Amino acid sequence: MLGISTILIALVVCLLILHYLKQLWSHRSYPPGPLELPIIGSIWKLGYKLSPDILIKLAKQYGNIYTLWLGPMPIVVLSGYEAVKEGLINHSEDFADRPVTPFLKVAAKEQGIVFSNGHIWKQQRKFGMVTLRKLGLGKKGMEHQIEEEAHQLVETFARAKGQPFDPSVPIINSVSNVICALAFGHRFSVEDKEFLKLLEAVDRLLKFPTTNSHSLYEISPWLMEHLPGPHRKTLACIDIIYSFVKKEIKKHQENPAVHEPQDFIDFYMFQMTKESKHDPNSTYNEENLTQCIFDLFIAGTETTSLTLRWALLHMANHPDIQEKVHKEIEDVLGSSQSLNYQDRKKLPYTHAVIHEIQRCQYILFFGLPRQSTKNVNMLGFLIPKEVIVVPDLQSVLLDPKQWKTPEAFNPNHFLDKDGRFVEREAFLPFGAGARVCLGEQLAKIELFVFFTTLMRAFTFQPPKGVKQLSTVPEVGTSLVPFPYKLCAVPRCSSS
């Protein structure tokens, strides 16, 4: 009896080994990568605790195009400027899709802009671009709104009276309110409980994709749907965000804009009415409207606010650079003039510092994945159709072939020998190609107006007794500074 069960066990083990070897053999045509283990694939190589530069380290070991296996799901990573440029720019259409994984199916429903594909994506993206441009025009446009928010932020910081405080919550509130004004036509008070609940839900949702619970959800959604765990809380957060957006849409439906549309919902509702009359394939409907706003919120708040949080931290750590920024602003703008985005042309050093913050302290860990639309041959590798492709933008911004001192904070990366601002090809924090960030222009205005307004008003310093604030990030979907405090010391010449 014992003999038979031993033989049976040995047989099962042999079959499992054979199955595993067959799997390895069938994956041999993919770009190389860490050894795949049964069930978990090669994510073991990422380690239990993600380090912010793990993808760059893996590229050093496996080359600038490599494969990671999330269980049975291949993920091809493009690393460094050459590979990312080849993928996103030279093969723009071949990688124009986003993947539809089990979690994304629930979170984005294949609607809206960020995680839709095909006809829906084309229509919604085009509409989004045109509408953001329209909303940016005119005195009452987006730039004016950003200036207002920046002044409110100065007032909030001033209340700390130069004492140590954590700037992150006020920054997140201000940046979120820019998107609220754009999407809903009004801002929210920081005391508004619903608004705070929304911000908490966004925060939790963005932390989820780098958790083990997320990996398990992607591998076996049917099992996870029956199990308790952090994924359930994340799904509840998605519901919170949807109901917040839906409530705002309902308010617009009850009080439609009679004359000129004022915000994203107004423009969308006009479009819905117009298109429903003559386009049977129109994708303008309430589901897509809800998802578009969800997308603008998710894509446009954390990114910009994180960049500003890192910006202040770096200014506190680099008093010499901060002093040069102060001097340039004072020399050019004086203390009485107001400030707008056009002023960046007169402030090359300040403009270079903002770019260097985005380069040196990039805020996305995995970025937004793409998916191949067909079999693609690039740089000697075959990337099969419908495979997830991750362009590692951080590796481009730190590529030693592109930047003189990639690891050091050095605004000279964006200045010529005469101190004039220079654009750099390898500066790709917003991605590139067909899916390049839709909010790039808005983000650039926000970063310039917020940063310059704050720098005009304050000198940022670490608290007494602290030499340097930590620049080691906490790794999630984004690279977040660990909670820190700094002092915003009012400048006597501030307006």
Which residue in 33, 99, 367, 411 binds ligand HEM (CB under 6 A)? 367
135 Cβ neighbours under 8 A, 6+ residues apart: 141, 142, 182, 263, 264, 267
Least distance (Å) between residue 213 CB and ligand HEM: 24
The smaller minimum CB distance to ligand HEM, of residues 64 and 307, is found at 307
Which residue in 46, 77, 114, 241 binds ligand HEM (CB under 6 A)? 114
**∠ CA 459-461-467, rounded to 5°:** 155
Distance CA 341, CA 336 (A): 17
The smaller minimum CB distance to ligand HEM, of residues 116 and 213, is found at 116
The smaller minimum CB distance to ligand HEM, of residues 165 and 195, is found at 195
Chain position carrying tokens 């294949």: 110
Span from 196-204, 222-230, 291-299, 412-420 in contact with ligand HEM (CB under 6 A): 291-299
User: Residues binding ligand HEM: what is the number (CB under 6 A)?
Assistant: 29
In this structure, how many other beta carbons lie within 10 angstroms of the beta carbon of residue 44?
Answer: 13
Least distance (Å) between residue 19 CB and ligand HEM: 35
Distance CA 238, CA 251 (A): 20
The smaller minimum CB distance to ligand HEM, of residues 238 and 442, is found at 442
Window 344-363: residues binding ligand HEM (CB under 6 A): 363
310, two tokens: 């890192």
125 binds ligand HEM (CB under 6 A): yes
56 binds ligand HEM (CB under 6 A): no
The smaller minimum CB distance to ligand HEM, of residues 388 and 443, is found at 443
Q: Characterise 99 by phi-psi region: left (phi > 0), alpha (psi -120 to 50), beta (else).
A: beta
DSSP run (H or E) holding 79: strand 73-79
Chain position carrying tokens 């040196």: 360
What residue spans of 27-67 are helical by DSSP H?
54-62
175 Cβ neighbours under 8 A, 6+ residues apart: 149, 300, 301, 304, 305, 308, 446, 450
Least distance (Å) between residue 3 CB and ligand HEM: 59
Closest CA to 23 of 73, 78, 76: 73
**Residue window 442-461: x/- pattern of binding to ligand HEM, with contact defined by CB under 6 A:** xx------------------
160 Cβ neighbours under 8 A, 6+ residues apart: 487, 488
The smaller minimum CB distance to ligand HEM, of residues 133 and 420, is found at 133
Do 458 and 489 meet the contact criterion of CB atoms below 8 Å apart?
Answer: yes
120 binds ligand HEM (CB under 6 A): no
Least distance (Å) between residue 108 CB and ligand HEM: 10
**Residue window 61-100: x/- pattern of binding to ligand HEM, with contact defined by CB under 6 A:** ---------------------------x------------
177, two tokens: 């309110």
Do 76 and 388 meet the contact criterion of CB atoms below 8 Å apart?
Answer: yes
Window 219-248: residues binding ligand HEM (CB under 6 A): none
Window 298-317: residues binding ligand HEM (CB under 6 A): 299-300, 303-304, 307
Least distance (Å) between residue 119 CB and ligand HEM: 14
342, two tokens: 């056009």
The smaller minimum CB distance to ligand HEM, of residues 291 and 461, is found at 291
Least distance (Å) between residue 232 CB and ligand HEM: 27
Which residue in 311, 325, 393, 449 binds ligand HEM (CB under 6 A)? 393
Least distance (Å) between residue 188 CB and ligand HEM: 17
Window 410-439: residues binding ligand HEM (CB under 6 A): 429-433, 435-439
Closest CA to 486 of 304, 199, 457, 465: 465
Do 78 and 391 meet the contact criterion of CB atoms below 8 Å apart?
Answer: yes
The smaller minimum CB distance to ligand HEM, of residues 37 and 129, is found at 129
Q: Is 171 exposed, middle or buried (0-12, 13-18, 19+ CB in 10 A)?
A: buried
Torsion 174-143-270-117 (CA) sign: negative
User: Across-strand partners of 475?
Assistant: 479
Least distance (Å) between residue 336 CB and ligand HEM: 30
Q: Which residues bind ligand HEM (CB under 6 A)?
A: 88, 113-114, 125, 295-296, 299-300, 303-304, 307, 363-364, 367-368, 370, 393, 429-433, 435-439, 442-443
